[in-house]
Amino acid sequence: MNTHDFVQKYGINRKDTDSVKWDGMAKSFDGRNDLVPMWVADADFKCPDEAVQAIENFASLGVYGYTLAPQTYKQAFIEWERKRHHYECREEWIRFVPGVVSGIYIIIKALTNPGDAVIIQTPVYYPFSDAVKNTRRKLITNELVDNNGRYEMNLDDFEQKIIENDVKLYILCSPHNPVARVWSEQELDRVFDICIKHNVTIIADEIHQDLIFGDHKHITSPIVSQGKYSDSIIMLTSASKTFNIAGLQNSFLVTASIELGEKIDEELKYDAIHTGNPFGYRAAEAAYRYGESWLEDFLKVIEENYQSLKMILSQDGRIHVYPLEGTYLCWVDLRECVFPDDVHRVVQDIAGVAVDFGEWFGDCGKGFIRINLATIPERVQDVGKRLLNAIDA
Protein backbone atom coordinates (compact mmCIF):
# COMPACT_ATOMS: atom_id res chain seq x y z
CA MET A 1 0.00 0.00 0.00
CA ASN A 2 1.37 3.47 -0.70
CA THR A 3 1.72 5.94 2.13
CA HIS A 4 -1.24 8.02 1.02
CA ASP A 5 -3.54 4.98 1.11
CA PHE A 6 -2.13 3.87 4.47
CA VAL A 7 -2.81 7.28 6.00
CA GLN A 8 -6.33 7.33 4.52
CA LYS A 9 -7.12 3.85 5.77
CA TYR A 10 -5.51 3.86 9.22
CA GLY A 11 -5.18 7.53 10.22
CA ILE A 12 -7.64 8.41 12.97
CA ASN A 13 -8.67 11.42 15.02
CA ARG A 14 -7.97 10.41 18.61
CA LYS A 15 -9.28 13.54 20.29
CA ASP A 16 -11.86 12.67 22.97
CA THR A 17 -10.91 8.99 23.04
CA ASP A 18 -9.19 9.21 26.47
CA SER A 19 -5.86 9.09 24.71
CA VAL A 20 -3.01 10.15 27.00
CA LYS A 21 -1.35 11.96 24.12
CA TRP A 22 -4.48 13.85 23.01
CA ASP A 23 -6.64 14.14 26.09
CA GLY A 24 -4.10 13.96 28.91
CA MET A 25 -1.67 16.73 28.09
CA ALA A 26 -2.85 19.34 30.61
CA LYS A 27 -0.86 17.81 33.48
CA SER A 28 2.46 18.04 31.65
CA PHE A 29 1.88 21.32 29.78
CA ASP A 30 0.76 23.90 32.35
CA GLY A 31 -2.93 23.10 32.08
CA ARG A 32 -3.05 23.44 28.28
CA ASN A 33 -5.05 20.81 26.44
CA ASP A 34 -5.21 22.61 23.11
CA LEU A 35 -1.66 21.96 21.88
CA VAL A 36 -0.80 19.87 18.81
CA PRO A 37 0.19 16.60 20.51
CA MET A 38 3.59 15.35 19.35
CA TRP A 39 4.76 13.91 22.66
CA VAL A 40 3.72 10.45 24.09
CA ALA A 41 5.23 7.62 22.02
CA ASP A 42 2.23 6.04 20.40
CA ALA A 43 0.79 6.44 16.93
CA ASP A 44 -2.27 8.16 15.46
CA PHE A 45 -2.97 5.10 13.30
CA LYS A 46 -5.25 2.13 13.80
CA CYS A 47 -3.41 -1.16 14.34
CA PRO A 48 -3.46 -4.01 11.75
CA ASP A 49 -6.98 -5.20 10.84
CA GLU A 50 -6.21 -8.72 12.02
CA ALA A 51 -5.42 -7.47 15.53
CA VAL A 52 -8.75 -5.63 15.67
CA GLN A 53 -10.49 -8.75 14.39
CA ALA A 54 -8.80 -10.90 17.06
CA ILE A 55 -10.08 -8.55 19.77
CA GLU A 56 -13.56 -8.50 18.29
CA ASN A 57 -13.64 -12.30 18.12
CA PHE A 58 -12.67 -12.60 21.78
CA ALA A 59 -15.04 -9.79 22.80
CA SER A 60 -17.93 -11.58 21.11
CA LEU A 61 -17.49 -14.54 23.50
CA GLY A 62 -18.98 -12.41 26.23
CA VAL A 63 -17.01 -14.20 28.97
CA TYR A 64 -13.88 -12.55 30.35
CA GLY A 65 -12.94 -14.76 33.25
CA TYR A 66 -9.40 -15.82 34.18
CA THR A 67 -7.78 -16.72 30.91
CA LEU A 68 -4.63 -18.60 29.96
CA ALA A 69 -2.18 -17.22 27.45
CA PRO A 70 -3.03 -19.01 24.19
CA GLN A 71 -0.55 -21.82 23.44
CA THR A 72 0.24 -20.12 20.17
CA TYR A 73 1.02 -16.68 21.65
CA LYS A 74 4.64 -17.25 22.60
CA GLN A 75 5.13 -19.18 19.38
CA ALA A 76 4.05 -16.17 17.32
CA PHE A 77 6.62 -14.03 19.16
CA ILE A 78 9.35 -16.65 18.68
CA GLU A 79 8.63 -16.79 14.95
CA TRP A 80 8.68 -12.98 14.70
CA GLU A 81 12.03 -12.82 16.50
CA ARG A 82 13.43 -15.50 14.21
CA LYS A 83 12.22 -13.80 11.06
CA ARG A 84 12.88 -10.14 11.87
CA HIS A 85 15.77 -10.41 14.33
CA HIS A 86 17.49 -13.68 13.38
CA TYR A 87 17.30 -14.83 16.95
CA GLU A 88 16.29 -18.30 18.10
CA CYS A 89 14.39 -17.50 21.28
CA ARG A 90 13.45 -20.55 23.35
CA GLU A 91 10.02 -20.73 24.96
CA GLU A 92 11.44 -21.26 28.45
CA TRP A 93 13.39 -17.99 28.20
CA ILE A 94 10.19 -15.93 27.99
CA ARG A 95 8.26 -14.42 30.92
CA PHE A 96 5.17 -12.25 30.80
CA VAL A 97 5.36 -8.69 32.10
CA PRO A 98 2.57 -6.14 31.66
CA GLY A 99 4.83 -3.39 30.34
CA VAL A 100 8.47 -2.86 29.57
CA VAL A 101 8.69 -0.22 32.29
CA SER A 102 7.16 -2.55 34.86
CA GLY A 103 9.67 -5.15 33.63
CA ILE A 104 12.50 -2.75 34.45
CA TYR A 105 11.19 -2.27 38.00
CA ILE A 106 10.84 -6.05 38.42
CA ILE A 107 14.41 -6.69 37.26
CA ILE A 108 15.88 -3.94 39.44
CA LYS A 109 14.10 -5.36 42.48
CA ALA A 110 15.02 -8.95 41.61
CA LEU A 111 18.74 -8.37 41.07
CA THR A 112 19.79 -5.49 43.32
CA ASN A 113 19.33 -4.14 46.82
CA PRO A 114 18.39 -0.62 47.93
CA GLY A 115 21.46 1.59 47.64
CA ASP A 116 23.04 -0.45 44.81
CA ALA A 117 24.18 1.55 41.80
CA VAL A 118 22.45 1.33 38.39
CA ILE A 119 23.88 3.06 35.31
CA ILE A 120 21.96 4.66 32.43
CA GLN A 121 23.08 6.65 29.38
CA THR A 122 21.53 10.10 29.16
CA PRO A 123 19.68 11.64 27.47
CA VAL A 124 17.41 8.63 27.82
CA TYR A 125 13.73 7.67 28.26
CA TYR A 126 12.99 9.23 31.65
CA PRO A 127 11.21 6.26 33.31
CA PHE A 128 14.69 4.67 33.50
CA SER A 129 15.87 7.23 36.04
CA ASP A 130 12.47 7.17 37.78
CA ALA A 131 12.73 3.39 38.14
CA VAL A 132 16.17 3.60 39.72
CA LYS A 133 15.16 6.39 42.09
CA ASN A 134 11.73 4.99 42.98
CA THR A 135 13.26 1.65 43.95
CA ARG A 136 15.79 3.51 46.15
CA ARG A 137 18.79 2.49 44.08
CA LYS A 138 21.64 4.87 43.30
CA LEU A 139 21.38 6.53 39.90
CA ILE A 140 24.60 6.79 37.90
CA THR A 141 24.51 8.63 34.57
CA ASN A 142 26.90 8.27 31.68
CA GLU A 143 26.24 10.93 29.05
CA LEU A 144 26.18 10.06 25.37
CA VAL A 145 28.43 12.30 23.30
CA ASP A 146 27.61 14.07 20.06
CA ASN A 147 30.24 13.20 17.48
CA ASN A 148 29.62 15.29 14.36
CA GLY A 149 25.87 15.33 14.74
CA ARG A 150 25.49 11.69 15.78
CA TYR A 151 25.44 10.34 19.31
CA GLU A 152 27.96 7.78 20.53
CA MET A 153 28.67 6.09 23.82
CA ASN A 154 31.44 7.46 26.02
CA LEU A 155 32.87 4.14 27.14
CA ASP A 156 35.82 5.45 29.15
CA ASP A 157 33.45 7.41 31.36
CA PHE A 158 31.07 4.41 31.43
CA GLU A 159 33.76 2.07 32.73
CA GLN A 160 35.17 4.56 35.18
CA LYS A 161 31.75 5.20 36.69
CA ILE A 162 31.11 1.47 36.98
CA ILE A 163 34.34 1.01 38.89
CA GLU A 164 33.94 4.09 41.10
CA ASN A 165 30.36 3.26 42.08
CA ASP A 166 30.47 -0.55 42.07
CA VAL A 167 27.61 -0.56 39.57
CA LYS A 168 25.45 -3.71 39.55
CA LEU A 169 23.06 -3.09 36.67
CA TYR A 170 23.06 -1.27 33.32
CA ILE A 171 19.88 -0.25 31.51
CA LEU A 172 20.52 -0.11 27.76
CA CYS A 173 18.02 1.52 25.41
CA SER A 174 18.32 -0.18 22.00
CA PRO A 175 17.33 1.50 19.71
CA HIS A 176 17.86 4.58 21.82
CA ASN A 177 14.97 6.87 22.77
CA PRO A 178 15.30 9.89 22.34
CA VAL A 179 18.43 10.18 20.17
CA ALA A 180 17.16 7.61 17.61
CA ARG A 181 20.41 5.67 17.39
CA VAL A 182 20.45 2.02 16.31
CA TRP A 183 23.55 0.67 18.03
CA SER A 184 25.92 -1.34 15.86
CA GLU A 185 27.06 -4.80 16.92
CA GLN A 186 30.52 -3.41 17.51
CA GLU A 187 29.22 -0.74 19.88
CA LEU A 188 27.13 -3.27 21.77
CA ASP A 189 30.04 -5.68 21.92
CA ARG A 190 32.26 -3.04 23.50
CA VAL A 191 29.76 -1.88 26.08
CA PHE A 192 28.78 -5.44 27.04
CA ASP A 193 32.42 -6.41 27.33
CA ILE A 194 32.91 -3.70 29.97
CA CYS A 195 29.81 -4.92 31.81
CA ILE A 196 31.01 -8.51 31.92
CA LYS A 197 34.47 -7.47 33.08
CA HIS A 198 32.89 -5.75 36.10
CA ASN A 199 30.01 -8.18 36.80
CA VAL A 200 27.31 -5.79 35.67
CA THR A 201 24.03 -7.36 34.52
CA ILE A 202 22.38 -5.83 31.45
CA ILE A 203 18.75 -4.87 31.00
CA ALA A 204 18.21 -4.35 27.28
CA ASP A 205 15.07 -2.33 26.57
CA GLU A 206 14.32 -3.22 22.95
CA ILE A 207 10.76 -1.98 22.73
CA HIS A 208 11.62 -0.04 19.53
CA GLN A 209 13.32 -3.04 17.91
CA ASP A 210 11.08 -3.13 14.85
CA LEU A 211 11.22 0.59 14.01
CA ILE A 212 14.40 0.71 11.96
CA PHE A 213 15.22 2.84 8.91
CA GLY A 214 17.58 2.83 5.93
CA ASP A 215 20.49 0.45 6.07
CA HIS A 216 20.55 0.24 9.83
CA LYS A 217 20.23 -3.16 11.45
CA HIS A 218 18.94 -3.73 14.93
CA ILE A 219 21.07 -6.36 16.65
CA THR A 220 19.11 -7.90 19.47
CA SER A 221 21.28 -8.00 22.58
CA PRO A 222 21.23 -11.77 23.19
CA ILE A 223 22.90 -12.46 19.82
CA VAL A 224 25.70 -9.90 20.06
CA SER A 225 29.02 -11.65 19.36
CA GLN A 226 27.23 -14.92 18.73
CA GLY A 227 25.51 -14.91 22.08
CA LYS A 228 28.68 -14.40 24.12
CA TYR A 229 26.89 -12.21 26.69
CA SER A 230 23.45 -13.79 26.68
CA ASP A 231 23.80 -15.21 30.21
CA SER A 232 24.12 -11.69 31.60
CA ILE A 233 21.29 -10.10 29.62
CA ILE A 234 17.61 -9.65 30.27
CA MET A 235 15.88 -8.31 27.19
CA LEU A 236 12.51 -6.58 27.31
CA THR A 237 10.34 -6.03 24.29
CA SER A 238 6.74 -5.87 23.14
CA ALA A 239 4.47 -5.61 20.12
CA SER A 240 3.24 -2.34 21.61
CA LYS A 241 5.28 0.24 19.68
CA THR A 242 5.55 -1.92 16.56
CA PHE A 243 1.78 -2.23 16.10
CA ASN A 244 0.44 0.61 18.25
CA ILE A 245 -1.15 -1.56 20.93
CA ALA A 246 0.52 -0.14 24.06
CA GLY A 247 -2.79 0.21 25.91
CA LEU A 248 -3.20 -3.57 25.93
CA GLN A 249 -0.34 -4.06 28.38
CA ASN A 250 1.42 -7.20 27.19
CA SER A 251 5.21 -7.38 27.04
CA PHE A 252 7.98 -9.97 26.94
CA LEU A 253 10.89 -10.47 29.30
CA VAL A 254 13.53 -12.75 27.78
CA THR A 255 16.61 -14.25 29.38
CA ALA A 256 18.68 -17.27 28.45
CA SER A 257 20.15 -17.40 31.96
CA ILE A 258 18.57 -19.99 34.26
CA GLU A 259 19.90 -18.16 37.30
CA LEU A 260 18.55 -14.74 36.27
CA GLY A 261 15.28 -16.35 35.20
CA GLU A 262 14.84 -17.91 38.66
CA LYS A 263 15.41 -14.57 40.37
CA ILE A 264 12.87 -12.94 38.07
CA ASP A 265 10.35 -15.71 38.78
CA GLU A 266 10.74 -15.09 42.52
CA GLU A 267 10.10 -11.38 42.04
CA LEU A 268 7.11 -12.00 39.76
CA LYS A 269 5.65 -14.23 42.49
CA TYR A 270 6.31 -11.58 45.08
CA ASP A 271 4.62 -8.93 42.91
CA ALA A 272 1.72 -11.33 42.19
CA ILE A 273 2.13 -11.02 38.43
CA HIS A 274 0.80 -14.18 36.81
CA THR A 275 -1.01 -13.63 33.56
CA GLY A 276 -1.72 -10.89 31.06
CA ASN A 277 -4.68 -9.29 29.43
CA PRO A 278 -6.42 -11.80 27.12
CA PHE A 279 -7.23 -9.07 24.61
CA GLY A 280 -3.55 -8.15 24.54
CA TYR A 281 -2.43 -11.73 23.95
CA ARG A 282 -4.74 -12.06 20.98
CA ALA A 283 -3.96 -8.71 19.44
CA ALA A 284 -0.18 -9.21 19.77
CA GLU A 285 -0.34 -12.69 18.31
CA ALA A 286 -2.45 -11.59 15.33
CA ALA A 287 -0.19 -8.59 14.71
CA TYR A 288 2.94 -10.73 14.77
CA ARG A 289 1.37 -13.29 12.45
CA TYR A 290 -0.36 -11.00 9.97
CA GLY A 291 0.87 -7.44 10.56
CA GLU A 292 4.17 -7.38 8.74
CA SER A 293 2.95 -5.53 5.66
CA TRP A 294 1.11 -3.03 7.91
CA LEU A 295 4.46 -2.43 9.66
CA GLU A 296 6.33 -1.91 6.38
CA ASP A 297 3.74 0.69 5.30
CA PHE A 298 3.81 2.38 8.70
CA LEU A 299 7.62 2.67 8.49
CA LYS A 300 7.32 4.32 5.08
CA VAL A 301 4.98 6.94 6.54
CA ILE A 302 7.41 7.65 9.39
CA GLU A 303 10.33 7.92 6.98
CA GLU A 304 8.44 10.42 4.80
CA ASN A 305 7.34 12.39 7.85
CA TYR A 306 10.94 12.58 8.99
CA GLN A 307 12.15 13.80 5.59
CA SER A 308 9.47 16.47 5.38
CA LEU A 309 10.05 17.71 8.94
CA LYS A 310 13.78 17.84 8.33
CA MET A 311 13.30 19.74 5.09
CA ILE A 312 11.05 22.33 6.76
CA LEU A 313 13.22 22.79 9.85
CA SER A 314 16.44 22.99 7.85
CA GLN A 315 15.16 26.25 6.34
CA ASP A 316 16.58 27.65 9.56
CA GLY A 317 20.21 26.62 9.30
CA ARG A 318 20.62 26.83 13.07
CA ILE A 319 18.29 23.89 13.86
CA HIS A 320 19.93 20.48 13.95
CA VAL A 321 17.67 17.51 13.22
CA TYR A 322 19.41 14.26 14.20
CA PRO A 323 19.45 11.27 11.86
CA LEU A 324 16.50 8.94 12.39
CA GLU A 325 18.10 5.50 12.52
CA GLY A 326 15.39 3.91 14.66
CA THR A 327 12.21 4.71 16.66
CA TYR A 328 9.63 7.22 15.41
CA LEU A 329 10.99 9.90 17.71
CA CYS A 330 12.90 12.77 16.19
CA TRP A 331 15.54 14.53 18.30
CA VAL A 332 16.06 18.19 17.50
CA ASP A 333 18.69 20.61 18.81
CA LEU A 334 17.38 24.18 19.15
CA ARG A 335 20.31 25.57 21.13
CA GLU A 336 21.70 27.71 18.33
CA CYS A 337 18.47 29.60 17.82
CA VAL A 338 16.59 29.50 21.14
CA PHE A 339 18.01 30.11 24.62
CA PRO A 340 17.52 26.84 26.50
CA ASP A 341 15.40 28.62 29.13
CA ASP A 342 13.09 29.89 26.37
CA VAL A 343 12.35 26.56 24.69
CA HIS A 344 9.09 25.98 26.60
CA ARG A 345 7.84 29.46 25.77
CA VAL A 346 8.73 29.18 22.08
CA VAL A 347 7.50 25.61 21.49
CA GLN A 348 4.53 25.41 23.83
CA ASP A 349 3.31 28.99 24.16
CA ILE A 350 4.11 30.44 20.73
CA ALA A 351 4.09 27.41 18.40
CA GLY A 352 1.31 25.66 20.36
CA VAL A 353 2.97 22.25 20.17
CA ALA A 354 3.30 19.59 22.87
CA VAL A 355 6.68 17.85 22.58
CA ASP A 356 8.87 16.01 25.04
CA PHE A 357 11.28 18.63 26.32
CA GLY A 358 14.91 17.58 26.21
CA GLU A 359 15.64 18.09 29.90
CA TRP A 360 13.02 15.46 30.77
CA PHE A 361 15.61 12.95 29.48
CA GLY A 362 18.41 14.30 31.69
CA ASP A 363 20.11 17.65 32.23
CA CYS A 364 22.19 17.22 29.08
CA GLY A 365 18.96 17.31 27.03
CA LYS A 366 18.16 20.91 27.86
CA GLY A 367 17.73 22.99 24.69
CA PHE A 368 16.54 19.95 22.69
CA ILE A 369 13.06 18.66 21.89
CA ARG A 370 11.72 15.24 20.89
CA ILE A 371 9.01 15.18 18.23
CA ASN A 372 6.83 12.09 17.70
CA LEU A 373 6.53 11.43 13.95
CA ALA A 374 3.85 8.72 14.16
CA THR A 375 1.00 10.85 12.95
CA ILE A 376 -0.55 12.05 9.71
CA PRO A 377 1.83 13.92 7.35
CA GLU A 378 -0.24 17.14 7.40
CA ARG A 379 0.24 17.41 11.16
CA VAL A 380 3.99 16.91 10.91
CA GLN A 381 4.24 19.61 8.25
CA ASP A 382 2.04 21.95 10.26
CA VAL A 383 4.24 21.44 13.33
CA GLY A 384 7.40 22.08 11.31
CA LYS A 385 5.97 25.39 10.09
CA ARG A 386 4.70 26.37 13.53
CA LEU A 387 8.15 25.80 15.01
CA LEU A 388 9.88 27.78 12.26
CA ASN A 389 7.47 30.71 12.68
CA ALA A 390 7.75 30.65 16.46
CA ILE A 391 11.54 30.67 16.30
CA ASP A 392 11.42 33.57 13.82
CA ALA A 393 9.10 35.47 16.11
Contacting residues toward ligand PLP, per CB under 6 A:
41, 99-101, 125, 173, 177, 205, 207, 238, 240, 246, 251
Beta carbon of residue 371, minimum distance to ligand PLP (angstroms, whole number): 14
Beta carbon of residue 206, minimum distance to ligand PLP (angstroms, whole number): 9
Residue nearest to ligand PLP (CB): 99
Beta carbon of residue 251, minimum distance to ligand PLP (angstroms, whole number): 5
Beta carbon of residue 41, minimum distance to ligand PLP (angstroms, whole number): 3
What is the residue type of 25? M
Residue with smaller CB distance to ligand PLP, 19 or 53? 19
Residue with smaller CB distance to ligand PLP, 244 or 305? 244
**E strands, the chain, in order:** 36-37, 94-97, 117-122, 138-143, 145-146, 151-152, 167-173, 201-205, 233-238, 251-254, 320-321, 329-333, 353-354, 356-357, 368-372
What is the phi-psi region of residue 149: left when phi exceeds 0, alpha when psi lies from -120 to 50, beta otherwise?
A: left
Residue with smaller CB distance to ligand PLP, 40 or 194? 40
Residue with smaller CB distance to ligand PLP, 111 or 173? 173
Give the integer Cα–Cα distance in Å for 291 and 87: 19
Beta carbon of residue 342, minimum distance to ligand PLP (angstroms, whole number): 26
Give the integer Cα–Cα distance in Å for 121 and 323: 18
Give the integer Cα–Cα distance in Å for 281 and 241: 15
Residue with smaller CB distance to ligand PLP, 327 or 388? 327
Give the integer Cα–Cα distance in Å for 386 and 379: 10
The β-bridge relationship of strands 356-357 and 368-372 is antiparallel
Beta carbon of residue 167, minimum distance to ligand PLP (angstroms, whole number): 20
Give the integer Cα–Cα distance in Å for 118 and 132: 7
Beta carbon of residue 121, minimum distance to ligand PLP (angstroms, whole number): 12
**Residue 357: strand pairing partners:** 369
Give the integer Cα–Cα distance in Å for 135 and 103: 13
Residue with smaller CB distance to ligand PLP, 372 or 390? 372
Q: How far is CA 77 from the centre of its chain?
A: 18
Residue with smaller CB distance to ligand PLP, 29 or 125? 125
